Structure 1
Amino acid sequence: MPRIRGASIEEHHEMVWAELAGALRELLLERDYDSINMGHIAARAGLARNTLYNYARDKSALVLALTERAARPALARVAAIAGRAEEPAAARLREIVEAFLRASMDQALQPMFRPGAGPLVAEVPKGPGNPFNAIVAEVENVVRDGIGRGEFRDVGDVPLTVELLSGVVRAGAERLGREPGAFATTVHASQEVILAALNHRPGERSVQD
């Protein structure tokens, strides 16, 4: 029976998950995602390969679990920003974009933003437990708030609009995966494209005018 570290089984599992996340981060700095296998992750985390299968059935499932865990701080940050209702919606959106792009640079999240990661993204469970869906819901609330205050134009279908604009942020995250040094310019460009889609067009009047 494997030696239990920590004061409880739960604490032991948390420690193992932390080691697995650290192992994946290190490996992704050294090699391409597709060249990493379960044996590499187990060895780097100091685990027997058979033990690793207690946490995930294969690499895809393991990376998804690590991604969901790594995304939780980003969700908390985005929710805190979105909840500052006294601030203009545009300012909150700018900060959310920056916070999410910064979080995307975590090596544990980068597999979700690699070109061709569609199948991996599609496997993330749907529903309120999905951290990415929860982040999108927070952004939708900010956009609705901005429309209600007259800051943004009425875009009609808010979920569709946010879904389309999320492609801008994903493109930014993919770029940062290739060029981490381009953070400032990528954030600025993403913010400008998103706000240009939401702001009133020339000649339009807001409900506050």
Structure 2
Amino acid sequence: MNNGQRCGATGRSQIRRGELIATGRKLFADTSYDALSMDDIARHAGVAKGLVYYYFKSKRGYYLAIIEDSMADLVSRAAGDTELPRAERVYRTVDGYLRFAHDHQAAFRTIVTGGVGFDTQVQSIRDAVREELIAAIAEGAYGNRDIPMLARLALLGWLSGVEGITLDWLGHQEPARETVCALLIRMLRGTLHTIAEFEPECPEPPAESLPAALAEAVPEPAQA
């Protein structure tokens, strides 16, 4: 086989692997890991079960590949659109996070809760995603992804709250996503204000107006 043939074969393999991951993302969107067998997966994908084993070695390997692919989309969304105003970037990051959680509930719960049992690989993926989301928020707030440890801890605390709130929101399916997004952004503003009190290197970013989609979701203050 010459180099051109090898490249063609590699390209086809990558396409087929990507197709299997896309199928898996749909299958596992709202279905737990234990609820699907490899026979189920192969049947939905329209391939022989051996092909799934060929690309992913095991059901667990397949599931981890799906989670990594899903998380890559989330991280890409958070780190993108750097030319947008700060408030719009934060809105897109938080709203994208909530949309992802809603559309991939089983995978999201797996990531946040650590997987099946104590799964170190799932936890490693979760930790990498957390670090990337914290870095994206820091870059939007301070123009620098490298921030002091105390500021990082504060943003990690906010993100842990985001995870808990999102899990509970998924369980109740209320209030509206826009309202939850507005709440999380207000909480982030409070976190950035607190960071500024402790870290002179991280002054509080200037306040910006909420995007229209969020401004409409913020409830009016109660009348005295």
Q: TM-score range by the shorter chain?
A: 0.5 to 0.7
How far apart, in 1, do the equivalents of 2:178 and 2:204 lie?
33
* Deviation of 1:45 (Å): 0.9
Unpaired segments ≥5 residues, structure 1: 1-6, 147-153
Checking the alignment, whether the CA contact within 8 Å between 2:78 and 2:133 is kept in structure 1 is yes
Question: Any idea what the Cα deviations from partners look like across 1:136-178, whole Å, max 9, x if unmatched?
Answer: 32223223349xxxxxxx9971221222111122224424543
How far apart, in 1, do the equivalents of 2:179 and 2:33 lie?
26
Question: Any idea what the Cα deviations from partners look like across 1:63-116, whole Å, max 9, x if unmatched?
Answer: 2211222233332222223x23x734x553233111222223333x74232497
* Deviation of 1:193 (Å): 2.0
Match of 2:113 in 1: 117
Match of 1:185 in 2: 179
Query: With structure 1 as the length reference, what TM-score do the two structures score?
Result: 0.67
1:1-209 map, 5 Å:
8-26=9-27, 28-29=29-30, 31-81=31-81, 83-84=82-83, 87-88=85-86, 90-107=87-104, 110-114=106-110, 117-119=113-115, 122-124=120-122, 130=128, 132-145=130-143, 157-175=150-168, 177-179=170-172, 182-199=176-193
Match of 2:217 in 1: none
Query: Secondary structure at 2:47's aligned position in 1?
Result: coil
* Deviation of 1:23 (Å): 3.8
Number of equivalenced pairs: 187
Go from structure 1 to structure 2 and tell me whether the alpha carbon gap of 1:189 and 1:17 turns closer, same or farther (over 3 Å shift): same
Compare 154-163 and 56-65 and name the one that shifted more: 154-163
Unpaired segments ≥5 residues, structure 2: 1-7, 198-202, 207-224
Query: Secondary structure at 1:69's aligned position in 2?
Result: helix
- Superposed CA RMSD: 3.8
Identity percentage of aligned residues: 17
